[in-house]
């Protein structure tokens, strides 16, 4: 079996995105289940530390929310921040993933 660090999921239309959006989505894909990162973390990870608002706008328009877990990105102050499907659903998803992660250990 080949030793692969990461396996990229082929998503229809992903290559048509602007490079900035692709970088944002790839960074978000690296966030483990049951964990969260901040918009600032995503911006820093893609090499654009001052682009936190732009990161938020990209995630707001995530066309693949079941594949790219934008709900795992929160504000620097610990608040949930926005979520296109509603803040209540974001909380439910985060709590569910946290429980799944705890059950896996």
- The closest alpha carbon to 58, from 14, 92, 1, 5, belongs to 14
- CA–CA gap between residue 81 and residue 42 (Å, rounded): 14
Q: Is 70 a catalytic residue?
A: yes
> Which residue in the list 21, 70, 73, 94 is annotated as catalytic?
70
- CA–CA gap between residue 70 and residue 24 (Å, rounded): 10
List, by residue number, the catalytic residues: 70
């Amino acid at each position: 079996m080949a030793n692969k660090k990461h396996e990229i999921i082929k998503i229809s239309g992903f290559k048509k995105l602007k490079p900035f959006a692709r970088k944002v989505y790839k960074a978000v894909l690296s966030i483990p289940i049951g964990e969260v990162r901040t918009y600032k973390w995503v911006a820093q990870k893609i090499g654009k530390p001052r682009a936190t608002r732009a990161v938020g706008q990209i995630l707001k328009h995530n066309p693949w929310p079941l594949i790219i877990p934008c709900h795992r990105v929160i504000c620097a102050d610990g608040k949930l921040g926005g979520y296109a499907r509603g803040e209540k659903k974001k909380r439910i998803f985060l709590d569910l993933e946290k429980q799944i992660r705890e059950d896996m250990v």
